[in-house]
Chains A and B, each alone.
Chain A
């Protein structure tokens, strides 16, 4: 089945040790999003891509970076994770931008723990 796949499902890292989360999609969607969700909170948009066009949220810390080498893959790099970065990280895709009827498709998320 076509889907959005996030690896790993659970990631444990040490304080300050760089970590990379990955997302792949078989939907051939143009738009990819990364959200951070802390317990009982709303998902918070970190950044998104229209194709290769990168859009960073103003309040996303510099510690968070992203790469999209091709349509199918997108990576979230956390350069120096702090305890406050422990959260669920959600990748999502949509087929097109700037239209009113495109649903958002989510992966299962990566739960990041920082020790």
Chain B
């Protein structure tokens, strides 16, 4: 059974800093891994999708990497802004049954 762990559970950093969020998963038989953003009381928005054959994806100030063999992914946020405050969740999609399994997320707070 796929287990997804995100570290840290919560993070507060001053505006302007670069930061890294970590995700680990136990089963490497995945199609892809997505990083999502969730604002309080809202649904999830897909930020980046990395296919299993890829090593990284970039979108603006966001860069996600994937090391499938070691079961790890990171989300790098450059020059953080208060608007980046949200919960970030990672979710690998399994090969065998298409299920998308979520971690609990990292609650990020950017201090103005």
Contacts and interface: CB of A to CB of B under 8 A. Distances in A.
Interface of A: 4, 6, 31, 33, 35, 40-45, 48, 50, 55, 88, 90, 92, 97-109, 111
Given A33-B100, A45-B100, A101 B46 contact: no
14 contacts: A40-B104, A41-B104, A43-B89, A45-B101, A50-B98, A99-B31, A101-B51, A103-B34, A104-B34, A104-B91, A105-B46, A106-B45, A109-B41, A109-B43
A27 to B, nearest CB: 13
Interface of B: 4, 31-32, 34, 36, 41-46, 49, 51-53, 89, 91, 93, 97-105
A109 B42 contact: yes
Given A103-B34, A106-B43, A42 B99 contact: no
A-B pairs, top 7 by smallest CB distance, nearest first, are A106-B43, A42-B102, A100-B31, A100-B51, A106-B44, A103-B46, A108-B43
A42 B87 CA distance: 11
Nearest to A101: B51
B46 to A, nearest CB: 4
Given A90-B44, A104-B34, A42 B105 contact: yes
Given A42-B4, A45-B100, A45-B101, A104 B46 contact: yes
A28 to B, nearest CB: 18
A113 to B, nearest CB: 13
A50 B97 CA distance: 11
B41 A111 contact: yes
A94 B93 CA distance: 12
Nearest to A43: B102
A107 B31 CA distance: 23
Contacts of A41: 104
B11 to A, nearest CB: 15
A45 B103 contact: no
Contacts of B91: 104
Nearest to B105: A42
Given A42-B105, A109-B42, 8 more contacts: A42-B101, A42-B103, A90-B44, A100-B93, A101-B32, A104-B34, A106-B45, A108-B43
